[in-house]
């Protein structure tokens, strides 16, 4: 995972995309660590953490899709008024 400062001008899409990448990187980290573990309990714990990161990724992806759908709809509605005026 890399540190990154999000500017005050970042879009919501950029924020979600950044967060999703961080979740994917965390998943990769935990899975790589799990592959190196000899202790089966610790290995299973790391796999569980990795699976949690994928769940976080899915939540963020869903929220991003919802935002895009909502944002698209409101823009379409607003532009339809511009054509009529």
pLDDT for position 52:
98
Is 60 exceeded by the pLDDT of residue 1?
A: no
pLDDT for position 73:
65
pLDDT for position 40:
97
Query: What are the C-alpha distances in Å from 73 to residues 2, 31, 69, 77, 78?
Result: 34, 39, 6, 6, 9
Q: Which pLDDT tens digit goes with each residue over 3-33?
A: 566 666 678 888 889 999 999 999 999 999 9
Q: Which residue has the tokens 């967060």?
A: 19
Q: Which pLDDT tens digit goes with each residue over 35-76?
A: 999 999 999 999 999 999 999 999 999 998 888 888 766 666
CA torsion, ordered 75, 67, 6, 47, to nearest 10 deg: -160
Contact between 42 and 23 (Cβ < 8 Å): no
């Amino acid at each position: 995972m890399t540190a990154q400062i999000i500017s005050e001008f970042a879009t919501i899409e950029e924020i979600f995309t950044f967060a999703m990448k961080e979740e994917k990187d965390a998943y990769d980290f935990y899975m790589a660590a799990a592959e190196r573990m000899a202790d089966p309990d610790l290995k299973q714990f790391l796999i569980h953490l990795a699976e949690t990161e994928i769940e976080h990724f899915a939540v963020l992806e869903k929220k991003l899709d919802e935002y895009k759908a909502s944002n698209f709809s409101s823009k379409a509605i607003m532009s339809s008024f511009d054509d009529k005026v």
